[in-house]
């Protein structure tokens, strides 16, 4: 008998080696290699063996350009993140922590599409048809155009899809799917890659818009090889704490739209409800008369949004001060602490600093720098910041406050929500038309900004 050849594949990054290794040389993860049987290589086809049905290279000028045919999901916040709607034949990967709402929003999406007389197939490899039916009843979901299938064998799924010919398909989750052509267990690198490849072929060849649910690892990334994210058209991530009321959906990759948009939802007994004005909710519980709290204005794609940043500064008694933050980059906070100490003379090196963005939202835009600096300074000096003030601006290493984009949109959002003062970069003042109801303070450095809020 011919000897069976095996290989070892890293379950974290997909690195292959003929021998077992304790540590992966590609991603440095330990005990991540799994033994699999080498699949027999097929003979590479030639042009003559395939015949006239092969795809051939054509000049790009000969291809007629057309706009994507988009279909609204019935959920405005989801349409915003997708770039305007669902594209026919697209493949979308949805990731997030367990219990954060992935299956819930996809069931709501299925209901909306089924109500428009589209045929929707919901495939679950984790729940039985009875369990899915129970969840659907709890959410008030019922439609003759919504089909449920509890199956994880891709060969059986393919036959059902070809028989039913649905317009939309949802697979929950990709880690439970398997094909009989590969001997490894479901959830392994080879099974995930093959399953995604097969679903992509079905989606593209039959024009079925497909949504795939992906589990995440402890560090928050999609479980399985990074190749999975490269194969699909769109990657959506759920943000926020599963124990928090609000959920955010952000597009990490989108071949059909922007990756800067953010969808905000509120979890309720009837599923995920849209939050049309997230600014009002995120700042609704801002405390009064408490130092260390400041409102900032950030842009999420084309939408301005206000958020509250809180800072707690307290003396350290153990020699090594602690630096902890939630919702912003920790290295960015450390940089701004160094700028505040060097350029503004605030001796915070012996203080514990805790920073938090209220609502579980994550902010990465440089325009929030000034808000971080002012909240820390307010907490350090124990001085309250005016309730009606908003801080906007990027802070450089020399302590200067740099201009930001979309300044008029930010200011209009502040006026709409009743704010009366705004600290903005001086370079942006020239491009702003006079607006009623708000006083603008143009600053060039963090010292000038501190003079406005703290009086020096």
Is-contact 202 158, C-beta < 8 A?
yes
Residue 131 forms part of a structural domain = yes
Residue 289 has pLDDT above 90, yes or no: no
Mean pLDDT, the chain, integer: 87
Same domain, 434 and 420: yes
Instruction: Give the pLDDT of residue 2.
Output: 55
Q: Which residues fall in the annotated binding site?
A: 96-103
Instruction: Give the pLDDT of residue 41.
Output: 47
Residue 127 forms part of a structural domain = yes
Residue 49 forms part of a structural domain = no
Lowest mean pLDDT among 1-5, 131-135, 196-200: 1-5
* CB contact burial 148-157 (16+ within 10 A = b; e otherwise): bbeebebeeb
Domain CATH for 399: 3.30.230.10
Residue 93 has pLDDT above 50, yes or no: yes
Same domain, 223 and 151: yes
What is the rounded average pLDDT of the residues 90-97? 92
- Reported for 284-290, long-range contacts at CB under 8 A and 24+ positions apart, including other chains, are 285/358, 286/358, 286/387, 288/387, 289/384, 290/384
Instruction: Give the pLDDT of residue 217.
Output: 67
Instruction: Give the pLDDT of residue 316.
Output: 86
* Structure tokens that stand for 143 in this block: 């439609």
Residue 147 forms part of a structural domain = yes
Last residue of a domain, one of 241, 276, 311: 276
Q: Which residues fall in the annotated binding site for ATP?
A: 96-103
Same domain, 33 and 90: no
Last residue of a domain, one of 217, 245, 276: 276
Number of domains in the chain: 3
Domain CATH for 131: 3.40.50.300
Same domain, 260 and 300: no
Tens-place pLDDT, residues 4-27: 678 888 877 778 888 899 998 888
Is-contact 403 387, C-beta < 8 A?
no
Residue 418 forms part of a structural domain = yes
Q: Is the dihedral of CA 333, 335, 336, 341 positive or negative?
A: positive
> Which residue range is the domain that position 294 belongs to?
280-454
What is the rounded average pLDDT of the residues 442-449? 95
Lowest mean pLDDT among 181-195, 264-278, 299-313, 322-336: 181-195
Name the band, by pLDDT with cuts 50, 70 and 90, for residue 426.
very high
What is the rounded average pLDDT of the residues 162-177? 94
Instruction: Give the pLDDT of residue 43.
Output: 44
What is the spatial distance between Cα 103 and Cα 85, in angstroms, rounded to a whole number?
Answer: 19
Same domain, 77 and 175: yes
Instruction: Give the pLDDT of residue 168.
Output: 97
What is the CA angle 98-104-107, rounded to 5? 140
Residue 389 has pLDDT above 90, yes or no: yes
Same domain, 376 and 424: yes
Nearest to 310 by CA among 247, 364, 374, 388: 374
Same domain, 24 and 73: no
Residue 334 has pLDDT above 90, yes or no: yes
Name the band, by pLDDT with cuts 50, 70 and 90, for residue 3.
low
Cis before 173? omega within 30: yes
Residue 63 forms part of a structural domain = no
Name the band, by pLDDT with cuts 50, 70 and 90, for residue 28.
confident
Residue 425 has pLDDT above 80, yes or no: yes
Tens-place pLDDT, residues 344-372: 999 898 899 999 999 888 898 999 999 99
Instruction: Give the pLDDT of residue 73.
Output: 93
């Amino acid at each position: 008998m011919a000897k069976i050849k095996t290989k070892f594949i890293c379950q974290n990054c997909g690195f292959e080696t003929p021998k077992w290794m304790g540590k992966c040389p590609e991603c440095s993860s330990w005990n991540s290699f799994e033994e699999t049987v080498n699949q027999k290589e097929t003979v590479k086809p030639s042009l003559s063996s395939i015949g006239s049905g092969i795809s051939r290279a054509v000049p790009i000028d000969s291809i007629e350009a057309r706009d994507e045919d988009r279909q609204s999901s019935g959920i405005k916040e989801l349409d915003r993140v997708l770039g305007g709607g669902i594209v026919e034949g697209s493949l979308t990967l949805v990731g997030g922590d367990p219990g954060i709402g992935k299956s819930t929003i996809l069931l709501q999406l299925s209901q909306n599409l089924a109500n428009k007389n589209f045929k929707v197939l919901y495939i679950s490899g984790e729940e039985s048809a009875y369990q899915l039916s129970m969840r659907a009843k709890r959410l008030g979901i019922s439609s003759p155009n919504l089909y449920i299938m509890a199956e994880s064998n891709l060969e059986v799924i393919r036959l059902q899809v070809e028989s039913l010919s649905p317009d939309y398909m949802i697979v929950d989750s990709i880690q439970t799917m398997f094909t009989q052509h590969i001997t490894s267990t479901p959830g392994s690198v080879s099974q995930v890659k093959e399953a995604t490849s097969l679903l992509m072929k079905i989606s593209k060849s039959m024009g079925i818009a497909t949504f795939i649910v992906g589990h995440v690892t402890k560090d928050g990334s999609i479980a399985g090889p990074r190749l999975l994210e490269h194969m699909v058209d769109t990657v959506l991530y759920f943000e926020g704490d599963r124990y928090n009321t609000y959920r955010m959906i952000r597009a990490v990759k989108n071949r059909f739209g922007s990756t800067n948009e953010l969808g905000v939802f509120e979890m309720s007994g009837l599923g995920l409800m849209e939050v049309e004005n997230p600014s009002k909710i995120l700042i609704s519980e801002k405390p009064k008369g408490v130092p260390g709290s400041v409102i900032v204005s950030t842009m999420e794609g084309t939408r301005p949004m206000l958020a509250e940043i809180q800072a707690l500064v307290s003396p350290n008694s153990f020699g090594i001060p602690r630096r902890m933050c939630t919702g912003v980059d920790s290295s960015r906070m450390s940089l701004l602490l160094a700028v505040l100490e060097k350029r503004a003379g605030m001796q915070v090196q012996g203080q514990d600093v805790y920073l938090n963005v209220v609502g579980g939202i994550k902010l990465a835009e440089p325009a929030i720098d000034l808000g971080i600096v002012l909240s820390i300074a307010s907490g350090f000096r124990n001085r309250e910041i005016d309730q009606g003030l908003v801080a906007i601006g990027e802070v450089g290493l020399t302590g200067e406050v740099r201009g930001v984009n979309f300044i008029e949109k930010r200011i209009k959002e502040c006026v709409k929500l009743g704010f009366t003062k705004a600290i903005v970069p001086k370079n942006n003042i020239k491009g702003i038309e006079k607006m009623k109801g708000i006083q603008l303070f143009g600053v060039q450095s963090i010292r000038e900004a501190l003079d406005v809020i703290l009086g020096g």
